[in-house]
């Protein structure tokens, strides 16, 4: 009766075993209710404490939910019982153990029941507000993470374009000086002709290598770190899975090959490795940011 105003405004939904319909899997119904409960009102008396099903099945699930998910427990002492000798003892009872409801006059009982329902309403509202705040904060952190990914993508793209111009100019200069026209891939080209670089060519080679070691490496590693910290982004933006795979291969090659070979100035991982860079990733990330 005292919970009726809250039910009517849909502030709460009350469940008890009278809602289990005939022919229903009653144990599953109870499990579902225990799993979804935000609060539990325990009408504590000798009958509850004597029930093996309650004490061995229902109560452990509720106490686990209280520990793991913050389900609120409201023990209401309705009859004289051995409350203090049970697992419930560590939970503060809502009313005085020495004055259970059965020992009080009706007005005092009503006063306690009303206060209990007010407390339940307050607790659930606080929990809902905390949950909303937590979700809002999480969404904010997720958006910041996507924004940082977008920033790093932009930085690495700018670095890659600048590096490509220097790379092409250096290849042309080496070919003209040596009188060759090579069809080697860029990594192999520079590795092969590194010992023959002239002084000015070596200077340009170092500039190109610095871009790989600096903005490209730093940006790629930071993106992977963000994706590891926010794995839910892979579900929201599936293209990020392809990006992560590409960058993991790139970073592995950087750590195990590039860093140990001074004859490399560029580093590529792509189609030949089965992990091409997703060409539309910038547009996908920007579209997500605009939407959110």
Clarify whether residues 214 and 285 are in a common domain. Answer: yes
Does residue 251 form part of some domain? yes
Clarify whether residues 99 and 141 are in a common domain. Answer: no
Residue 36 has pLDDT above 80, yes or no: yes
Does residue 127 form part of some domain? no
pLDDT score recorded for residue 139: 83
pLDDT score recorded for residue 1: 86
Instruction: Please state, for a pLDDT cut of 70, what percent of the chain lies above it.
Output: 100
Clarify whether residues 84 and 177 are in a common domain. Answer: no
| CA–CA gap between residue 12 and residue 38 (Å, rounded) | 9
Question: Which two three-digit tokens encode residue 288?
Answer: 């997500």
Domain count of the fold of the chain:
2
173-194: per-residue pLDDT in tens? 999 999 999 999 999 999 999 9
Mean pLDDT rounded to a whole number for the chain: 92
Least Cα distance to 44 among 34, 36, 53, 54 occurs for 54
Clarify whether residues 152 and 23 are in a common domain. Answer: no
Residue 130 has pLDDT above 80, yes or no: no
pLDDT score recorded for residue 236: 87
pLDDT score recorded for residue 67: 86
- Judge residue 244's burial from the number of C-beta atoms within 10 Å of its C-beta, 0-12 exposed, 13-18 middle, 19 or more buried: buried
Clarify whether residues 69 and 164 are in a common domain. Answer: no
| Cβ atoms of residues 78 and 102 within 8 Å | yes
Identify the domain boundary among 81, 104, 127. Answer: 104
Residue 68 has pLDDT above 90, yes or no: no
| Average pLDDT for 136-163 | 93
pLDDT score recorded for residue 9: 82
Does residue 125 form part of some domain? no
pLDDT score recorded for residue 137: 76
pLDDT score recorded for residue 272: 80
Residue 4 has pLDDT above 90, yes or no: no
The CATH number assigned to the domain holding 55 equals: 3.40.50
Residue 14 has pLDDT above 90, yes or no: no
Residue 155 has pLDDT above 80, yes or no: yes
| Average pLDDT for 111-125 | 90
Packing angle of the helix pair 239-256, 217-229 (nearest 10 deg): 130
Clarify whether residues 66 and 151 are in a common domain. Answer: no
Residue 89 has pLDDT above 90, yes or no: no
Identify the domain boundary among 58, 89, 104. Answer: 104
Domain that holds residue 80: 4-104
Please report which confidence band the pLDDT of residue 281 belongs to, taking 50, 70 and 90 as the band edges: very high
Clarify whether residues 100 and 140 are in a common domain. Answer: no
Clarify whether residues 195 and 285 are in a common domain. Answer: yes
Clarify whether residues 55 and 167 are in a common domain. Answer: no
| CA–CA gap between residue 151 and residue 156 (Å, rounded) | 9
Clarify whether residues 188 and 261 are in a common domain. Answer: yes
Please report which confidence band the pLDDT of residue 127 belongs to, taking 50, 70 and 90 as the band edges: confident
Does residue 111 form part of some domain? no
239-277: per-residue pLDDT in tens? 999 999 999 999 999 999 999 999 999 999 987 888 999
Does residue 244 form part of some domain? yes
Backbone angles phi, psi at 42, to 5 degrees: -105, 115
Q: How far apart are the first and last CA of the chain?
A: 43
3-class state of residue 72 by DSSP: strand
Please report which confidence band the pLDDT of residue 226 belongs to, taking 50, 70 and 90 as the band edges: very high
Clarify whether residues 168 and 285 are in a common domain. Answer: yes
| CA–CA gap between residue 42 and residue 89 (Å, rounded) | 13
Left if phi > 0, otherwise alpha if psi is -120 to 50, otherwise beta: which for 70?
Answer: left
pLDDT score recorded for residue 178: 96
Question: Which two three-digit tokens encode residue 250?
Answer: 């790139």
Does residue 112 form part of some domain? no
pLDDT score recorded for residue 261: 95
> Locate tokens 């090579």: which residue?
182
Does residue 219 form part of some domain? yes
| Average pLDDT for 88-101 | 91
| Average pLDDT for 145-163 | 96
Clarify whether residues 90 and 181 are in a common domain. Answer: no
pLDDT score recorded for residue 132: 74
| Cβ atoms of residues 136 and 22 within 8 Å | no
Does residue 57 form part of some domain? yes
Residue 5 has pLDDT above 90, yes or no: no
């Amino acid at each position: 009766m005292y919970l009726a105003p809250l039910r009517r405004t849909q502030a709460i939904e009350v469940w008890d075993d009278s809602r289990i319909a005939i022919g229903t899997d009653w144990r599953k119904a109870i499990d579902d209710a225990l799993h979804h409960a935000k609060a539990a009102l325990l009408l504590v008396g000798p009958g509850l404490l004597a029930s093996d099903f309650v004490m061995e099945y229902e109560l452990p699930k509720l106490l686990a939910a209280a520990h793991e998910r913050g389900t609120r427990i409201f023990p209401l002492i309705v009859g004289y019982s051995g409350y203090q000798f049970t697992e419930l003892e560590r939970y503060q009872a809502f009313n005085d153990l020495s004055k259970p409801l059965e020992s009080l006059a009706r007005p005092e009982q009503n006063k306690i029941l009303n206060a209990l329902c007010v407390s339940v309403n307050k607790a659930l509202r606080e929990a809902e507000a905390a949950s909303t705040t937590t979700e809002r904060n999480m969404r904010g952190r997720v958006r910041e993470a996507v924004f940082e990914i977008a920033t790093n993508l932009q930085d690495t793209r700018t670095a890659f374009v600048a590096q490509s111009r220097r790379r092409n100019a250096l290849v042309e200069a080496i070919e003209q000086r040596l009188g060759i026209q090579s069809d080697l891939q860029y990594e192999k080209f520079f590795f092969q002709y590194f010992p023959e670089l002239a002084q000015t060519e070596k200077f340009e080679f170092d500039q190109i290598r610095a871009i790989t070691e600096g903005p490209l490496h730093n940006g790629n590693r930071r993106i992977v770190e963000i994706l590891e910290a926010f794995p839910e982004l892979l579900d929201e933006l599936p293209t990020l899975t392809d990006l992560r795979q590409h960058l993991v291969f790139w970073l592995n090659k950087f750590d195990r090959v590039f860093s140990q070979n001074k004859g490399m100035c560029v580093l590529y991982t792509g189609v030949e490795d089965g992990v091409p860079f997703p060409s539309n990733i910038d547009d996908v990330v920007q579209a997500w940011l605009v939407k959110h």
